[in-house]
Amino acid sequence: ASGVTFVTLEDEFGMVNVVVWRDLAERQRKVLVGSQLLQVFGRLESKSGVRHLIAQRLYDLTPLLTGLDVRSRDFQ
């Protein structure tokens, strides 16, 4: 879709689809593509059991991973 980036976030509680509009993606490109731990502030929408988080601000929380033994896990 033109002008929008879709990101799927998943943890042990489930998944959420994040919608990042072009202007936010351009302003926060470094955070969007470079974060190992991403926090998204936005508005949650739910339709027919599908959740979408409309991103308003992105935060790089990667420094919080320092000193942790982080392993990728498949929660499905």
Distance separating alpha carbons of residues 54 and 24, to the nearest angstrom: 11
Q: How many CB atoms lie within 10 A of CB 40?
A: 18
**∠ at Cα 6 (20, 74), nearest 5°?**
125
Q: Is 75 part of a structural domain of the chain? A: no
Structural domain count, the chain:
1
Residue 27, Ramachandran bin (φ over 0: left; ψ between -120 and 50: alpha; else beta)? alpha
pLDDT at 19: 97
Q: Is 25 part of a structural domain of the chain? A: yes
Place of tokens 């896990």: 73
Q: Is 67 part of a structural domain of the chain? A: no
Taking only the tens of pLDDT, the chain with its 76 residues reads 589 999 998 888 888 899 999 999 999 999 999 999 999 999 999 889 888 999 999 999 999 988 887 676 666 6
Find the domain containing 32 and state its range: 4-61
